[in-house]
Amino acid sequence: MNLVQLRRKFSLLIIAMGVGFFAPIVSADDAINPTVTVGSKKFTESVILGEMVSLLAEHAGGSVTHRRELGGTRVLWNALVDGSIDMYPEYTGTLREEIFIGQAVGNEDALRKLLATHGVRMSEPMGFNNTYAIGMNREQAKNLGITALSDLRDHPELRFGFTSEFMDRGDGWPSLCEAYRLPQKNVRGMDHDLCYRALAAGGIDLMDMYATDAEISYYNLAVLRDDLKHFPRYEAVLLYRDGLADRAAAVLKQVLLLGGSIDERTMTGINARVKLDDIPESQAAADFLREKFDIEVKVNVESIGARLWRTTCEHLFLVLVSLSASIFVGIPLGVIASKRPRLGQLVLGVVGVVQTIPALALLVLLMTLLRPLSVVGVESIGAHPAIAALFLYSLLPIVRNTYTGLMGIPLPLRESATALGLSGQAQLLRVELPLALPTLLAGVKTAAVLNIGFATLGALIGAGGYGQPILTGIRLDNISLILQGALPAAGLAILAQGMFELFERTVVSRGLRLRHRD
Amino acid sequence: MAIETSFIFELTDVSKRYEGHAAIDGVDLCIGQGQVVVLIGPSGCGKSTLLRLMVGLITPDSGCVLFEQEPLSLENVRSQRHRMGYVIQDGGLFPHLTARQNITLLARHLSWDDSRIHERIETLAELTSFPLAALDRYPLEMSGGQRQRVSLMRALMLDPDVLLLDEPLGALDPMIRSQLQDDLREIFSRLGKTVVLVTHDLAEAAYLADTIVLLHEGRIVQQGDLPSLIESPANDFVTKFINAQRGASILQGGAS
């Protein structure tokens, strides 16, 4: 998302929040420069393929947004089905084993038919099979005499580290375990990139990997032979929405060039350039397009400053919108809670429970909940669900502190206000809220700091922000990139804290600050 | 005592229970125009509860509280409170407001104009001997005595018909307390308003009151002036209460 779009979205959102809810955003010049939103998963190969698609689409005149590094197959599939994205790279094995798990899908034609019932079409396979594989340290494998998966039966002490997707999917650990009758019990789920590091550090012995992973040769790993032919084929394909052929025929035609054009060796090579040689994905993708199709595309590699500026804008956007919403909703909720004790317990209970939902689960849950709202322009990935989740997360400290602040007002003061003959509203506005203000502001401050930290997770669902470089940094094992997200996020949190303290000094009555000094 | 004029307060068979325990148990009490009535009794006798019933902070379980011939009710209690001034121990001043803001809070809420407010403050400061320069201090920047004077000014701002004071001097040290007792007596006599004051100090009661109302376990035991309480006590409790207080008064110079 570039800055102009971001600003436009920002002002639109503010306006929309005022009048109703998010208004549908329709671009007028869709016919000439069709807008195309490309998605990619949060592993390097998918991001590279997403870049290839984006560059080709742009070359054909499309106005392209690439939502990179979205967190998981379901996220992308749902986004594709509800139209939040137009296309993304996928693997046939993933479709069979994850999306259509439990439905025995036959050959490729059957798969295409099934996809069509969801309004989705599939490109020709790109030419490489990135199937799952199980790998371990070459030396350790040699020492233990392990070459094939069935050899693992004799080594129950070995520890597995799997991506959480692999833990659950149809061809994943449960069925692998069953097919090979594997005895290992020490199995844990973790991030794919962290698996490699854990394996190198000796924290685990075996992990799931993809056939085209660059790390296999980098870490000198042995890929165990699938001697029972358990893993299905994972042909790389592009999935795209039905309507794209009508809406952006030229763009689609260009993008479909990728069919049959990348073999396994090529893909592994490109992966290695990005992961091991630190070439930006877009550059690697562009180099491939030049070599393969003689297509010259302009690659804008973002400077550190530009990226910092962009991620700052995105992050502030998420935080400011969600935090303002929780202030506007949270304070009245806190007031109601303090006035109606029964309702209050209910309100505090509900916002408390929301707080206990794990961050990622809340994000994914909201993506699902927001899907029906796509008809009014609410997107199920990106900023909208992230803002909704941040809003809910920020509610508790604000509601609770408003409530606590109001309940903490000594009874004699409350009664003095009542006995004066002030109306209920005047008591609240002139006496109770000003007295509760220090506690209330502390709650808003806590919410702001939590919100800034939590907003980094928004990157997992394509909302950008400081989480984006962190995510990419983890993926590419690039500490500098991680710090480019982590440091500004920490800085922003400290800044917010400082600003709130300054603000507190200006709005809280000096008479109350005297008490704090006592 | 037969009073022909109308009563400011008229309580008939008023009871209030808290968790099964009767805080006020069938009290009848009439308070006449311009009287200074002191409610007194040991801790837990219900004297503060009685005052809170009068200002409508709590409602009786049974019986009736009339203020200026009208029962206190949800609909009119706010306007009735504008005709009462209520002061509690420690003053109950709002700490986020200066003395001036505390005093004028209600008047501003009722949209009085500035000159009227200003005039009224000057009158009240003079009445309570409060230095004008200290009006912009916050409660925590004032002494206990000053806080009580501000609280009194706040209660008097709308020129109410009655002043209700709940242990107004309870938290003050003896010197300031004695000074304020003198000032209060002068203020009461200058204003000529009806005053209902709660205290547990008999010397203070005797010094300020036209009528002392002695309470015990939620009931009125006896009412009258101090000599009548001493000379013709209604029962043993009255004598015991007076004797206990006399000892304390002699030892502590009238301020318990």
Q: What is the mean pLDDT of residues A312-316?
A: 94
Q: What is the mean pLDDT of residues A246-267?
A: 90
Residue of A nearest to B110 (CA): A422
**The CATH number of the domain covering residues in A132-223:** 3.40.190.120
Q: CA of B2 to nearest chain A CA: how many angstroms apart?
A: 31
Q: CA of B61 to nearest chain A CA: how many angstroms apart?
A: 19
Q: CA of B217 to nearest chain A CA: how many angstroms apart?
A: 23
Percent of chain A residues past pLDDT 90, beyond the cut = 49
Q: What is the CA radius of gyration of chain B?
A: 18
- B121, B104 in Cβ contact below 8 A? yes
CB distance A417–B82 less than 8 Å?
A: no
Residue of A nearest to B97 (CA): A511
Instruction: Name the token pair of A156.
Output: 């129950």
Listed in order, the ranges of chain A carrying CATH 3.40.190.10 are 33-127+234-293
User: Who's near A150: CB < 8 A, 6+ residues apart?
Assistant: A180, A227, A228
DSSP A388-451: HHHHHHHHHHHHHHHHHHHHTS-HHHHHHHHHHT--HHHIIIIIIHHHHHHHHHHHHHHHHHHH
Residue A463 has pLDDT above 60, yes or no: yes
Residue A512 has pLDDT above 70, yes or no: yes
Question: Which positions 428-457 of A are in contact with B (Cβ < 8 Å)?
Answer: 430-431, 434-435, 437
> What angle is formed at CA A77 by the lines to CA A173 and CA A92, rounded to 5 degrees?
55
CB distance A511–B140 less than 8 Å?
A: yes
Q: Which of B114, B79, B92, B228 is nearest to B171 (CA)?
A: B92
- A213, A193 in Cβ contact below 8 A? no
From residue A208, alpha-carbon distances to A134, A140, A216, B143, B227 in Å are 5, 16, 11, 75, 99
The ipTM, to two decimals, is 0.87
Give me the residue from A419, A511, A515 closest to B97, CB to CB. A511
Q: Which of B245, B253, B252, B178 is nearest to B40 (CA)?
A: B245
Listed in order, the ranges of chain A carrying CATH 3.40.190.120 are 132-223
**Architecture of the structural domain at A33-127+234-293:** 3-Layer(aba) Sandwich (3.40)
Half-sphere exposure of A481 (CA within 13 A, CB side): 18
Interatomic CA distance for residues A29 and A247, integer angstroms: 12
Which among B74, B84, B96, B111 is the top mutation candidate for probing chain A, defined by the most A β-carbons within 10 Å of its own β-carbon? B96
A177-207: per-residue pLDDT in tens? 889 999 988 888 888 888 888 998 888 999 9
- Identity at B179, one-letter amino acid code: Q
Q: Which residues on A lie below 8 Å from B97 (Cβ)? A: 509, 511
Q: What is the CA radius of gyration of chain A?
A: 26
Cβ count near A462 (within 10 Å): 31
Interatomic CA distance for residues A114 and B82, integer angstroms: 76
Q: What is the pLDDT of residue B77?
A: 86
CB distance B98–A511 less than 8 Å?
A: yes
The single-letter DSSP state of residue A301 is P
> What's the whole-model pTM score?
0.77
CB distance B81–A423 less than 8 Å?
A: no
For A194-208, A364-378, B77-91, B129-143, which range has the lowest pLDDT when averaged over its residues? Answer: A364-378
- B101, B179 in Cβ contact below 8 A? no
- A215, A275 in Cβ contact below 8 A? yes
Residue of A nearest to B94 (CA): A413
Q: Which residues on B lie below 8 Å from A428 (Cβ)? A: none
Residue of A nearest to B79 (CA): A421
Better-predicted residue by pLDDT, B101 or B256: B101
Interatomic CA distance for residues B249 and A393, integer angstroms: 61
Residues in chain A, total: 518
CB distance A511–B96 less than 8 Å?
A: yes
Residue A17 has pLDDT above 70, yes or no: no
Chain-centroid distance, C-alpha A305: 23
Give me the residue from A413, A421, A430 closest to B92, CB to CB. A413
Q: CA of B226 to nearest chain A CA: how many angstroms apart?
A: 31
Q: CA of A419 to nearest chain B CA: how many angstroms apart?
A: 6
Phi, psi of B117 (to 5 degrees): -60, -45
Lay out the sheet containing A87-91: strands in order across: A63-70, A35-41, A87-91, A236-241, A120-122
How many cross-chain Cβ pairs, A to B, lie less than 8 Å apart?
73
Q: Which residues on A lie below 8 Å from B106 (Cβ)? A: 420-422
User: pLDDT class for A5, splitting at 50, 70, 90?
Assistant: low
CB distance A511–B55 less than 8 Å?
A: no
Q: Which of A453, A461, A323 is nearest to A385 (CA)?
A: A461
Q: Which residues on A lie below 8 Å from B112 (Cβ)? A: none
B174-203: per-residue pLDDT in tens? 888 888 899 999 999 898 899 999 998 888
Give me the residue from B81, B96, B97 closest to A419, CB to CB. B81
Listed in order, the ranges of chain A carrying CATH 1.10.3720.10 are 3-17+304-517
> What angle is formed at CA A362 by the lines to CA A356 and CA A367, rounded to 5 degrees?
165
- Identity at B102, one-letter amino acid code: N
**The CATH number of the domain covering residues in A3-17+304-517:** 1.10.3720.10
Lay out the sheet containing B36-40: strands in order across: B84-88, B162-166, B194-198, B36-40, B211-216, B219-224
Average pLDDT, chain A: 87
Instruction: Name the token pair of A286.
Output: 């562009």
Which among A416, A441, A518 is the top mutation candidate for probing chain B, defined by the most B β-carbons within 10 Å of its own β-carbon? A416
> What angle is formed at CA B18 by the lines to CA B14 and CA B24, rounded to 5 degrees?
30
Cβ count near B28 (within 10 Å): 12
Interatomic CA distance for residues B235 and B220, integer angstroms: 12
> What angle is formed at CA B240 by the lines to CA B237 and CA B246, rounded to 5 degrees?
140
CB distance A416–B93 less than 8 Å?
A: yes
Q: CA of A421 to nearest chain B CA: how many angstroms apart?
A: 5
- Positive/negative CA dihedral, B151, A415, A338, A329: negative
Three-state SS for B225? coil
Q: What is the pLDDT of residue A160?
A: 92
CB distance A419–B97 less than 8 Å?
A: no
Cα first-last separation, chain B: 30
B132-184: per-residue pLDDT in tens? 999 999 999 998 889 999 999 999 999 999 999 998 888 788 888 888 899 99
User: Who's near A141: CB < 8 A, 6+ residues apart?
Assistant: A147, A222, A224
Q: Which of B130, B74, B72, B67 is nearest to B102 (CA)?
A: B130
Residue A430 has pLDDT above 80, yes or no: yes
Chain-centroid distance, C-alpha B106: 19
Q: What is the pLDDT of residue A515?
A: 57
Burial level of B8, CB count in 10 A (0-12/13-18/19+)? buried
Q: Which of A93, A103, A100, A97 is nearest to A120 (CA)?
A: A100
Residue A301 has pLDDT above 80, yes or no: no
From residue A161, alpha-carbon distances to A149, A203, A214, A275 in Å are 15, 9, 18, 20
- A203, A161 in Cβ contact below 8 A? yes
Strands A120-122 and A236-241: antiparallel
- A72, A79 in Cβ contact below 8 A? no
For chain B, the farthest-separated pair of C-alpha atoms sits apart, in whole angstroms, at 56
Q: What is the pLDDT of residue A14?
A: 46
Interatomic CA distance for residues B205 and A13, integer angstroms: 67
Percent of chain B residues past pLDDT 90, beyond the cut = 34
Interatomic CA distance for residues A331 and B181, integer angstroms: 45
